[in-house]
Amino acid sequence: MKREAMLRKLCLSIFLIVIVVGYIFAQAASDNQFAANAVFAFVNVNVVPMDGERVVPNQTVVVRNGRIAAMGSAKRVSVPKGAVRIDGRGQYLMPGLVDMHVHLEYFDRNAQLLIFLAAGVTTVRNMDGRPNILLWRKRASDGSLLAPTIYTAGAILEGKPPMRDDNKVVETPEQAETIVAEQKKAGYDFIKVYHTLDRETYLAIVAAAKKNGLTVAGHVPRSVGLQGVLLAGQKSVEHLEGYIDEIEADDSPFKNQRSWLKRYFAVKVDDGKIRSIADASERARVWNVPTLVEKRLSALTADELQIRLKQPELKYLPPGTAEFWRESY
């Protein structure tokens, strides 16, 4: 209970500090000179450096032009003249967290972005882009919207039939080149692929992305397989897709089955295959975003889901999300 109370206080502290600084930046967004030279000093704050299980008490942290300029004992680090002074007594300061897999397209209003800041998440990586998300990204960057820094893919690229009507169906290499160029021109940060793409089109997407200076992230197309994705140069794999098939033992009862159940049951694996695919992933310099929390929630029993749906924080979810969860069972 003591640890939980401390965590709640920590989250509240982070939220309050983020709100204060965000408000100041928002107020100053129209004053370019102020924004360019802004200096903040968090005085007598408890710092959680995230390099181990420790808290460094009574620190003064000076932030200049968005970067930490000084940090040390409040007795030794002086507050620069003209700095915005923030009293950190009894509060906690830590590096902002990054959520590497979010879906902002489900948010129906930008105020919901505050949910991330309340949890100490100051940067998000959005995996399915929309024009309004590009606008939120711009406003978050210029300080006119209190929100995390946003990096976003364009609309998901997939084959037929699309899982959602607003995904982009790509069936030929020619279409791949056109759509990737369109997403680059629109200002998206990277390309998101789905598992339904055929091999030729997928490789064309990767080539077009490289031509346009973009990286490719997302699922593992079934026509390509994980080894093919690693060779192609895809920069991240979401949900550990493809890895279970690669490490599954030859005598596994689930062998050659494409079932989501394989992700949750104790699939028999081969230690040698694990070492092999780990080495291949390292050579390919691919990042994995396992989304383990999402996988755990997806495996809830019906009774566990009902308990989950009664939790008070769910009131902050985008409308329809809880109903979607109900209908999925």
pLDDT of residue 27: 46
- Give me the average pLDDT of each 10-residue run along the chain (329 residues): 49 48 47 63 95 95 91 94 94 93 90 89 96 97 94 97 90 97 98 96 98 98 96 96 92 78 74 97 96 78 85 79 75
Q: Does the residue 209 lie in any domain? A: yes
Contact predicate 198/185, CB 8 Å: no
pLDDT of residue 26: 47
Is 268 found in the same domain as 198?
A: yes
Is 240 found in the same domain as 306?
A: yes
Torsion region of 323: left, alpha or beta (phi above 0 gives left; psi -120 to 50 gives alpha): alpha
CA 200-204-206 angle, to 5 degrees, is: 120
Is 196 found in the same domain as 80?
A: no
Q: Does the residue 115 lie in any domain? A: yes
Amino acid residing at 27: Q
Q: Encode 142-152: b = buried (16+ Cβ within 10 Å), e = exposed.
A: ebebbbbebbb
Is 235 found in the same domain as 210?
A: yes
pLDDT of residue 310: 87
Measured CA to CA, the distance from residue 116 to residue 120 in angstroms comes to 6
Q: Using CA atoms in the order 60, 96, 10, 308, what is the torsion angle rounded to 10 degrees?
A: 180
Q: Does the residue 150 lie in any domain? A: yes
Whole-prediction pTM value? 0.82
Given 42, 69, 93, the domain boundary residue is 93
Q: Does the residue 325 lie in any domain? A: no
Q: Tokens in use for 66?
A: 């968005």
Given 64, 93, 122, the domain boundary residue is 93
pLDDT of residue 317: 75
pLDDT of residue 153: 98
The range of the structural domain enclosing residue 16 comes to 2-93
pLDDT of residue 25: 47
Q: Does the residue 38 lie in any domain? A: yes
Is 46 found in the same domain as 139?
A: no
Helices (H), the chain: 2-28, 32-37, 114-118, 131-142, 173-186, 199-211, 225-232, 243-247, 271-284, 292-298, 302-309, 321-327
Measured CA to CA, the distance from residue 150 to residue 128 in angstroms comes to 12
Is 127 found in the same domain as 16?
A: no
How many independent structural domains does the chain possess?
2
Alpha-carbon Rg for the chain, nearest whole angstrom, is 23
Contact predicate 218/224, CB 8 Å: no
Give the number of other CB atoms < 10 A from CB of residue 174: 11
Is 141 found in the same domain as 77?
A: no
Measured CA to CA, the distance from residue 138 to residue 128 in angstroms comes to 17
CA 200-173-127 angle, to 5 degrees, is: 85
pLDDT of residue 295: 72
Given 93, 117, 145, the domain boundary residue is 93
Amino acid residing at 76: R
